[in-house]
Amino acid sequence: MSLEQIPVKKARPNDYTSNEHPVWCPGCGHFFILRALTKALAWLNISKQDIGLVSGIGCSSRLPAYLDVYGFHGIHGRALALASGLKLARPDLTVIAAGGDGDGYSIGGNHFIHACRRNMDITYIVMDNEVYGMTKGQPSPTTDPEWHSKLAPNGTGLSSFNPMGIALASGASFIARGFSGDPNGLTKILTEAIQHQGFSLVEIKSPCVTFRPEQKDWHKSMRLMNVTPFANPMEAAQAIYGSDGFDTGIYYQADSPVYRSEASSKKNGTASEQMDIIEKALLV
Ligand X SMILES: Cc1ncc(C[n+]2csc(CCOP(=O)(O)OP(=O)(O)O)c2C)c(N)n1
Query: Residues in the site for ligand X, rule: CB under 6 A?
Result: 57-60, 76, 99-103, 127, 129, 131-135, 140
Binding partner selected for residue 103 from Mg ion, another protein, ligand X, none, CB under the kind-specific 5 to 8 Å limit: ligand X
As a whole number of angstroms, the distance between CA 275 and CA 284 comes to 17
* C-alpha distances out from residue 123 to 5, 73, 145, Å: 32, 16, 29
Binding partner selected for residue 211 from ligand SF4, Mg ion, ligand X, none, CB under the kind-specific 5 to 8 Å limit: ligand SF4
Beta bridge partners of 122: 95
User: Hey, what's the torsion of the CAs at 57, 158, 137, 187, to 10 degrees?
Assistant: -60
Contacts of 220 (CB under 8 A, 6+ apart): none
Residue 170 near residue 117 (C-beta atoms within 8 A):
yes
Report how far apart the first and last C-alpha atoms of the chain are (Å, whole number): 74
Least Cβ distance, residue 34 to ligand SF4 (angstroms): 11
As a whole number of angstroms, the distance between CA 55 and CA 264 comes to 28
Contacts of 147 (CB under 8 A, 6+ apart): 130, 139, 155, 156, 212
State the CB neighbour count (10 A cutoff) for residue 120: 21
- The verdict on 210 binding ligand SF4 (CB under 6 A) reads yes
| Smaller CB separation from ligand SF4, 52 or 133 | 133
| Smaller CB separation from another protein, 234 or 283 | 283
Least Cβ distance, residue 23 to ligand X (angstroms): 13
Q: What is the DSSP letter of 107?
A: I
Phi/psi at 250 (nearest 5 deg)?
A: -90, 120
* C-alpha distances out from residue 20 to 65, 67, 71, 283, Å: 7, 8, 13, 57
The only residue of 147, 174, 211, 251 in contact with ligand SF4, by rule CB under 6 A = 211
- The verdict on 218 binding ligand SF4 (CB under 6 A) reads no
The only residue of 81, 107, 208, 254 in contact with ligand SF4, by rule CB under 6 A = 208
| Smaller CB separation from ligand SF4, 105 or 211 | 211
| Smaller CB separation from Mg ion, 76 or 196 | 76
- The verdict on 20 binding another protein (CB under 8 A) reads yes
Least Cβ distance, residue 132 to ligand SF4 (angstroms): 9
Compute how many residues bind Mg ion; rule: CB under 5 A: 4
| Smaller CB separation from Mg ion, 100 or 245 | 100
| Smaller CB separation from Mg ion, 101 or 182 | 101
Footprint of ligand SF4 on 31-60 (CB under 6 A) = 59
Q: Which stretch binds another protein (CB under 8 A): 140-148, 181-189, 196-204, 230-238?
A: 181-189
Footprint of Mg ion on 99-138 (CB under 5 A) = 100-101, 129, 133
Binding partner selected for residue 42 from ligand X, Mg ion, ligand SF4, none, CB under the kind-specific 5 to 8 Å limit: none
Pairing of strands 174-179, 249-253: antiparallel
As a whole number of angstroms, the distance between CA 50 and CA 228 comes to 31
Q: Note the residues at the interface with Mg ion (CB under 5 A).
A: 100-101, 129, 133
Q: Note the residues at the interface with ligand SF4 (CB under 6 A).
A: 24-25, 28, 30, 59, 129, 133-134, 208-211
